[in-house]
A = this chain, B = another copy of it.
Amino acid sequence: MNAETVRVNLGPRSYDIVITSDQLAGVGAFARQRNRGGLAVVVADENVRAHAEAVQGSLNAAGFRAELAVLPSGEATKSLATIAQLWDRLADLHADRQTLVVAVGGGVIGDAAGFAASTFNRGLPLLMVPTTLLSMVDSSVGGKVGINHPKAKNLIGAFHQPVGVWIDTATLATMAEREFRSGLAEVVKYGVILDPEFFAYQEANAERILAREPAAIRHIVARSCRLKADVVEKDEREESGLRAVLNYGHTFAHAFETAAGYGRWLHGEAVAAGMVCASRLAECQQLVPADLTERQRRLLHCFQLPVAPEPWPIDGLLATMRSDKKSVAGQLRFILPRRLGEVALFDNCREDDVRGVLQELAGG
Contacts and interface: CB of A to CB of B under 8 A. Distances in A.
A101 to B, nearest CB: 14
Contacts of A155: 87, 91, 120-121
Interface string A80-107: 1000100110011000100000000000
Given A91-B149, A91-B151, A151-B91, A156 B120 contact: yes
A285 interface: no
A152 B93 CA distance: 13
Interface of A is mostly: mixed
Contacts of A9: none
A222 to B, nearest CB: 27
Nearest to A239: B97
Contacts of A120: 155-156
A119 interface: yes
B91 A123 contact: no
Contacts of A91: 149-152, 155
A57 interface: no
A352 B238 CA distance: 56
A144 interface: yes
Contacts of A237: 122-123
A325 B96 CA distance: 9
A268 interface: no
A118 interface: yes
Contacts of A80: 80, 84
A157 B122 contact: yes
A92 B237 CA distance: 24
B87 A119 contact: no
27 contacts: A80-B80, A80-B84, A87-B149, A87-B155, A87-B156, A88-B149, A88-B151, A91-B149, A91-B150, A92-B151, A119-B119, A119-B156, A119-B157, A119-B158, A120-B155, A120-B156, A121-B155, A121-B157, A122-B144, A122-B146, A122-B158, A122-B159, A122-B237, A122-B238, A123-B158, A123-B159, A123-B237
The 8 closest A-B pairs by CB, nearest first: A91-B151, A122-B157, A119-B156, A122-B158, A122-B159, A91-B149, A87-B156, A119-B158
Interface of A: 80, 84, 87-88, 91-92, 96, 118-123, 144, 146, 149-152, 155-159, 237-238, 325
Given A122-B144, A122-B157, A122-B158, 8 more contacts: A80-B84, A87-B155, A87-B156, A88-B149, A91-B151, A91-B152, A118-B158, A158-B158
